[in-house]
Structure 1
Amino acid sequence: MADARSSARSGIAEDVERLADHLERVNFGAYADLLQRPWRLAWLNWVGGVFRGLGIGIGFTIVAGVALMILDALTMLNLPVVGKYIAELVRIVQAELHQPTY
């Protein structure tokens, strides 16, 4: 009877130890701290959103620039059907770039 109790206790102790290890790995303490300080959570979310927005803006600018360079190179190939549409698109974009802003 005593052996069954001690083995049950050791099994529970092992379970508690595994649970503690898991909570430590997922950084549950920092998450609980954020939940207790909502202004810090709001601040971190705001800063993350600002940097995410900057990354999207810069990334889109780079992708659009590369796409326009490729389209410009395709116009130099004088493809009969596609070249006319690409040339018109490049002309529109360049006209917008050289238009004064107010």
Structure 2
Amino acid sequence: MEEGRLFRELSQKIDELSIRIEKLNLAEYLEVLRNPKRLLYINFLAGVARGFGTAVGFTFLGAFVLYILQRVVILKLPVIGDFIAELVRIVQDELSVK
């Protein structure tokens, strides 16, 4: 009787473990590790995607900062306004050259 209960518990634990291993996609992960070309290709694509995302993010952030700086210039704050106006002029000159 004790052996039957122990066998059922052990069988249940093995089933749970096999389900967890399937969820991890361990076989696919090991297949990628065995194929260096595919691993390099996947890492290359991931790097390109991260780089592109970073570039787009910084572009939007820079545009937002310039927009805010232009609005501060409109407020005509005494010292800060002149400094920011000069920065905006420099950026606009650089953008018009290219």
The answer to whether 1:66 aligns with 2:81 is no
Residues matched between the structures, number: 98
CA distance in 2, matches of 1:34, 1:56: 26
Gaps of at least 5 residues in structure 1 are none
Report Cα offsets for 1:40-94 as digits up to 9, x if no partner: 1111010111011011101111110111011111101101122122112111211
Deviates more, 1:41-50 or 1:24-33: 24-33
Overall identity of the aligned pairs, in %: 37
Residue 17 of structure 2: aligned partner: 19
1:78 counterpart SS class: coil
Cα RMSD, aligned residues only: 1.3
* Alpha-carbon shift at residue 23 of structure 1 (Å): 1.2
Structure 1-normalised TM-score? 0.86
Aligned pairs (5 A) from 1:1-102? 3-100=1-98
Gaps of at least 5 residues in structure 2 are none
More helix per residue: 1 or 2? Answer: 2
